[in-house]
Homo-oligomer: A and B are copies of this chain.
Amino acid sequence: MTLTRMLAEYASNIRFEDLPHEVVEYTKLCILDWYGSALAGKDEKPILSILELTQEWGGNEQATLITGGKSSIGNACLVNAAASHIVELDDIHKSSIIHAGTVVIPAAAAVAEAYGLSGKDLITAVAVGYEICYRIGEAVSPSHYYYWHNTATCGTFGSAAATAKLLNLNVEQIMYALGNAGTQAAGLWEFIEDGANTKQLHTAKAAYNGALAALLAKKDFTSASKILEGRRGFFNAMSEKYDADKITRNLGKEFKIIENSFKIHASCRHTHPAMDCILNIMKENALTHQHIQSISIKTYQTVLNITDNPNPDTVYASKFSSQFCAALIAMKGSASLIDYNNEILQSPELRNLMEKVSVEADPYYENAYPEKWGAKVVITMKDGRTFSEGTDYPKGDPEKPADKEELIQKFITMTIDKVWNAKEKVQAILQLEEISAAEMMEAGEESCKQIQ
């Protein structure tokens, strides 16, 4: 009994009816979050380059492109996966270090749409895809992560598993899909030295390669039967250490998709704990930013190392400034993608508020890091009142989950200049088990057209 066979049997056996209600609801939120990220990123230059190439190549109208129109499953994987990673707001699983949404969901959505499958099929496939790539990522982390971009490498197994499930492959065929996913797994971290576009190519190709493996498996195109644990397989070739037990421990008894983290604010994750505290204090006490005397942040040292920047000069840099992010959320009550812009960057009012923000390291938070990413904020008002709040986790971590309303709000703000009917789209995705995969994707297309 190889590891691949155990995963294949798991994937083959599971049905929508086996998913607990919580898992179904959570999976729809993952899909919603993915969709928002894809819409938010669809007009960025690297995505348009990939889109243009797929247009040169052409393809049958099988699946909706997030940029509008339809193309082949392969092309939809490339465009939709690349688009959903670039604004860096997509989901993340901490223990496998994988952004699963950006790889698994575009592949699954394209295949589900092309084959006329239901929203329930899509939900089941996404949950299976997340489960399998998270387990493989956990088995090889952290050593694999030194050279390899887990989202790309392990993610390929996720897109293969999800699409294999949608194609209703038998156990042997799912093994072929996983085997030929593993042999295509690629994605080196070296690009990060240059901040290169490669990151988008990684997610694009992980989605494409997984779908390719599964679609060929449907035609009985064979593969290695021990791609994970084999002598010249994925574990040995691509990871200094690995823990094969993580592949199967509690398999079928838990659903790892609910361990997923969501990003609420459109800035560096290290700025989030303090921002969450500021937002709560401001809202709960109905404070107005004009009356703030000072904002004091105590947190772990890494926050200072990366985000202690009192004078960011670009929109990108402003997302890595704790002072900017603190002032922004105090002033605007949100810090979504559209809140970061050139206008606010130049705002004297915001700059004035930034000067009232201090950031210091604190032993409690420093000792707790990296298991906990925490901060404590004290806001002192001009009238002398003080308010304080602390947190051990940023909002959206599984220990402090984002709720449905927060994710809906995130979707609406991150897609505000991309679609005109965001609320209807949210509704469609949140009722996914009642509609088809095509209806979900096509609704997106229609609304893209209307705003353009």
Contact = CB atoms under 8 A, between A and B. Distances in A.
A146 interface: yes
Interface in A167-182: 176, 179-180, 182
A5 to B, nearest CB: 13
Contacts of A194: 222-225
Contact of A179 (B59, B147, B198): B198
Interface string A225-239: 111001111101110
Contacts of A58: 58-60, 72
Nearest to A215: B53
Contacts of A59: 57-59, 72
Contact of A237 (B46, B188, B215): B188
A73 B57 contact: yes
Interface in A43-87: 46, 49-50, 52-53, 56-60, 62, 72-75
B184 A205 contact: yes
Q: Is the interface on chain A under 10, 10 to 19, 20 to 34, or 35 or more residues?
A: 35 or more
Contacts of A50: 216, 221
Given A60-B57, A237-B147, A226 B190 contact: yes
Nearest to A213: B201
Contacts of A160: none
A239 to B, nearest CB: 11
A224 B196 contact: yes
A190 B233 contact: yes
A44 to B, nearest CB: 12
B72 A219 contact: no
A202 interface: yes
Copies of this protein in the assembly total 2
Q: Is the interface of A mostly helix, strand, loop or mixed?
A: helix
Contacts of A197: 216, 221-223
A227 to B, nearest CB: 6
A188 B233 contact: yes
A221 B209 CA distance: 20
A232 B153 CA distance: 15
Given A194-B224, A231-B190, A237-B148, A219 B53 contact: yes
Tell me which of A60, A148, A197, A213 has the highest count of chain B C-beta atoms within 10 A of its own C-beta: A197
Contacts of A196: 176, 179, 222-224
Contacts of A198: 179-180, 183, 222-224
Given A197-B221, A201-B216, A224-B196, A190 B57 contact: no
A387 interface: no
Nearest to A57: B72
Interface string A200-222: 01100100010011011001111
Interface in A68-111: 72-75
A183 B190 contact: yes
Given A191-B224, A197-B221, A197-B222, 9 more contacts: A53-B212, A57-B60, A57-B74, A58-B58, A180-B198, A188-B232, A189-B232, A191-B223, A198-B222
